Amino acid sequence: MDLSTLQIFIDVVRRGSFAAVAREMDVAASSISRSVNSLEKELGIRLFQRSTRRMKLTEAGMVYYSRVEPLVDEILRAQTMAVDIGEHPKGRLRITAPVTFGQISLIPLLPEFSEAYPDLSLEIIMTDSVVDLLTECIDVAIRLGPLEDSTFIASRLCKMDFAICASPDYLARHAPLQTPPDIRQHNCLLFPIAGYRSRWLFRNPKGRITEVPVNGRCSISNANSLMQCALRNMGLALLPRWVVRNEIESGALIDIFPDYDVTATEFDTAAWLLYPSREYLPLKVRAFVDFLKQRFSESPP
């Protein structure tokens, strides 16, 4: 019984199938099945009840998993701590980030990070879905906006500001926008989550908040796509400034209410670095977190 076999067993429990673990390890599902079968044979018990539709732990399997999982995690943690002493970061760093944020703000920084840490291999999972850090073996997650209650460690990366923008051509052909309530007369490009698709909030320099209902014929779940629609004269878009900064500076989009703070949910939101709550933070994670914080402090998005 070796550590790798125990880790495969734990991963199968966490992911719920042989196939998912096989895809992660880039091996055949039959290889994962053989590892679990050999563990069952060595223990003399059946760990999983298998059917064509699902697989779940047996009672003995649940007892075994509950005792062996923390032990394996502790062994792996001890290995990481020992390797980290006096060493440069190495191994695989698995990161997840929202698609547009990853494309615009993360990917351009990777060449510099990769050059600084040549012994690290990077695996970037860009998705707008909330990924389970433990199940997917994520080292660092980047999350945007308010954080739900979590047992994970969260560290603020940068503040997030928003702008309401539209193309010059759109603004020239539609009713003038002088105050926030004027947006009721316009087609708004909407983001299909609570708040963003129903009303936008404005805070003036004196701190007064105005809530304005919004309507629109187009709803898209990707910030970059919303920006592309705004560039093509389709309407007003509420977007993070890091998405539209270059377009506003070039004049391709107009910041309609630059004197207001604008949002759809909360005014004081941020981008966060999230990583599993452990007693020890691996050197590779510390290196990545420190690198990102330094770069974002030098050049906020």
pLDDT averaged per 10 residues, the chain (length 301): 85 86 85 90 88 80 89 79 72 92 94 93 91 85 80 86 96 94 94 81 93 92 93 96 94 96 88 80 89 88 70
Predicted confidence at residue 281, as pLDDT, reads 79
Predicted confidence at residue 195, as pLDDT, reads 67
Region for 147 from its dihedrals, namely left if φ exceeds 0, alpha if ψ lies in -120 to 50, beta otherwise: beta
Predicted confidence at residue 55, as pLDDT, reads 80
Predicted confidence at residue 278, as pLDDT, reads 62
Q: What angle do the packed helices 59-84 and 3-15 form, to 10 degrees?
A: 120
Predicted confidence at residue 257, as pLDDT, reads 96
Coil, strand or helix at 272 = strand
113 burial level (CB within 10 Å; 0-12, 13-18, 19+): middle
Predicted confidence at residue 133, as pLDDT, reads 86
CA distances, 200 to each of 10, 163, 183, 260 (Å) = 45, 11, 10, 12
- In the chain, what are the domains? 3-84 (1.10.10.10), 89-301 (3.40.190.290)
Predicted confidence at residue 154, as pLDDT, reads 87
Predicted confidence at residue 277, as pLDDT, reads 66
Query: What would the two tokens of residue 58 be?
Result: 């047996």
Predicted confidence at residue 73, as pLDDT, reads 81
